[in-house]
Amino acid sequence: MKNTPLPARLSAAFLLSILLSAAAVFAAEGTVLAPKGGAPLAADLPVETAVLTEAPQVPPAITRRHAAKVIVNLEVREVVKRLADGVEYTFWTFGGNVPGSFIRVREGDFVEFRLNNHPTSKMPHNIDLHAVTGPGGGAASSFTAPGHSSKFSFTALNAGLYVYHCATAPVPMHIANGMYGLILVEPKDGLPRVDREYYVMQGEIYTSGRNGEPGLQTFDPTKAEDERAPYIVFNGAVGSLVGDKALQAKVGETVRIHFGVGGPNVTSSFHIIGEIFDRVYLEGGSVAQHNVQTTMVPSGGSTMVEFKVDVPGTYILVDHSLSRAFNKGALGMLKVTGPENRLIYSGKEVDEVYLGQASDAGFAASKREAELVAAKEKAIASNPQIATITKDIQIERGKKVFLTSCFACHTATGEGLPAVFPPLAKSDFLKADKDRAIKIVLKGLSGPIIVNGKPFNNVMPPQEYTDEQVADVLTYVMNSWGNDFGSVSPTEVKRVRGENK
Ligand SMILES: [Cu+2]
């Protein structure tokens, strides 16, 4: 307030005093902390430690019908985990997984929250729980450096299903890296009884590579700003809820799914293919809407859906913005076992074809495909005819690369320019050393050289191409204008690139 003029400061103080007296009235009317006439003091409450669960599991329903002091111990860890087959990502987590551990308390509980940031973390983190009434939802009070632990407390005043997330700058990055989860504040009288409860959260991941690009991916801030996520997934990874990791239920049971969207940016049109939600607690609040097909869940929002499963089969959880489900990963499964009921459903299932890649059949197919590709590669290696075709393809691709840069100096006919740009056509220098040629394209070349008996002393800048493109362009050059110098494979380029790091 240093630079605020005096009248403004006075009025701010005045406002504050009104707020304080309002709080005093509120307290006098009997909040959990009011000493007399209301609920007991926090110090008098029975103490328990919250059971935290990893998605898709949910802690057991709360059976007590009185307030308690609940201790929550949440650990932040930065961990490398699978994002998709062959793709890894450094996730920042609340509890070691994405989404963060599920927290369950009861309306009126006094929650003592401890945030522990593991010593191996590289970043400070904090937590903003939407269930908290108070500035930042706990963010400022919970800012924690690596190897430190913070404590703050709050009373869970409102029942509902709430998102929590990290609120450390840059916030979208912390969330996109996996820092979100759900806290359920059960109403005083509890939620209706169900047979099974599950925990599912949707979030986007902005990888530097395209969807499916293998290896350890890094966060791409530009894609995040533009909201162009290569991955939109349930529970932190493609396929986290399919195959033997699918949710389970038996015919006749009632299922409740606690569904949230961590975002940071993309909302969800949550739908289960083949089911109708009997009840939807819109936006995670206390009013249930009935008979819903698809429910909108905002970023940083939630919903509770309940439904009875009547017939066996595989039900598919999706974001009904379907490219996200079928191309980016927002797809899960609920497998229901039990007797058929032909009256409700005739029983002819077409799931497997409809679901393509992500269904069980699709998974089996991907595996088989990988085997066949490997077998094909082996066959190619030992079949000269196919090897020739492969080389011809490389030459055509390489020509396109050549015409984007090399030709500007070495000319389209490969003759170059006397005393300035050396020839590639019939170049004895090129023919003599394949690894050197690869290195020249990757790293550039300068200083005096002799090509076909003529001296050159100029500079060639490094050429920014992938291993494949370098292999293709050199194969083109080595097989054009009368050259017959063999070919270059991406593996060779990769090796030379590694040797010249
Ligand atoms: Cu964080």
Q: Digits of tens for pLDDT over the chain (501 positions)?
A: 333 333 333 333 333 333 333 333 333 333 444 444 445 567 789 999 999 999 999 999 999 999 999 999 999 999 999 999 889 999 999 999 999 999 999 999 999 999 999 999 988 999 999 999 999 999 989 999 999 999 999 999 999 999 999 999 999 999 999 999 999 999 999 999 999 999 999 999 999 999 988 899 999 999 999 999 999 999 999 999 998 899 999 999 999 999 999 999 999 999 999 999 999 999 999 999 999 999 999 999 999 999 999 999 999 999 999 999 999 999 999 999 998 887 777 765 544 444 544 556 666 666 777 788 788 778 877 787 777 888 888 898 899 889 877 887 898 899 998 888 999 999 999 999 999 999 999 999 999 999 999 999 988 888 888 899 999 999 999 999 999 999 999 999 999 999 987
If 0-12 CB within 10 Å is exposed, 13-18 middle and 19+ buried, where does residue 391 land?
Answer: middle
How remote is the CA of residue 131 from the centroid of ligand 1, in Å?
18
How remote is the CA of residue 301 from the centroid of ligand 1, in Å?
18
Q: Label the pairing between strands 445-451 and 454-460.
A: antiparallel
How remote is the CA of residue 452 from the centroid of ligand 1, in Å?
61
How remote is the CA of residue 180 from the centroid of ligand 1, in Å?
9
How remote is the CA of residue 223 from the centroid of ligand 1, in Å?
19
DSSP class of 24? H
> What are the φ/ψ torsions at residue 149 (nearest 5 degrees)?
-140, 135
Q: Which residues contact 399 (CB under 8 A, 6 or more apart)?
A: 476, 480
Residue 441 is encoded by which pair of tokens? 């394209």
How remote is the CA of residue 77 from the centroid of ligand 1, in Å?
10
Q: What is the largest CA-CA distance in the chain?
A: 103
How remote is the CA of residue 124 from the centroid of ligand 1, in Å?
6
Cα distances (Å, whole numbers) of residue 211 to 217, 238, 386, 481: 10, 10, 30, 40
How remote is the CA of residue 101 from the centroid of ligand 1, in Å?
15
| CA atoms 415, 421, 424, 428: torsion sign | positive
Instruction: Tabulate helix, strand, coil % of the chain (nearest 5).
Output: 30, 30, 40
Please list the alpha-helical segments (H only) found in 96-191.
171-176
| CA atoms 359, 363, 368, 369: torsion sign | positive
How remote is the CA of residue 299 from the centroid of ligand 1, in Å?
17
How remote is the CA of residue 499 from the centroid of ligand 1, in Å?
37
How remote is the CA of residue 121 from the centroid of ligand 1, in Å?
10
How remote is the CA of residue 26 from the centroid of ligand 1, in Å?
34
> What are the φ/ψ torsions at residue 422 (nearest 5 degrees)?
-70, 155
Residue 446 is encoded by which pair of tokens? 């300068």
How remote is the CA of residue 168 from the centroid of ligand 1, in Å?
5
* Separation between Cα atoms, residue 230 and residue 208, nearest integer Å: 9
> Tokens 């039900």 appear where?
315
How remote is the CA of residue 480 from the centroid of ligand 1, in Å?
55
Q: Summarize pLDDT for 273-313 with one digit per residue, the tens.
A: 999 999 999 999 999 999 999 999 999 999 999 999 999 99
How remote is the CA of residue 439 from the centroid of ligand 1, in Å?
42
How remote is the CA of residue 181 from the centroid of ligand 1, in Å?
12
> What are the φ/ψ torsions at residue 133 (nearest 5 degrees)?
-100, 110
Quick count: other Cβ atoms within 10 Å of Cβ 262? 28
**pTM above the 0.85 mark?**
no
How remote is the CA of residue 260 from the centroid of ligand 1, in Å?
18
Cα distances (Å, whole numbers) of residue 29 to 34, 263, 299: 8, 38, 35
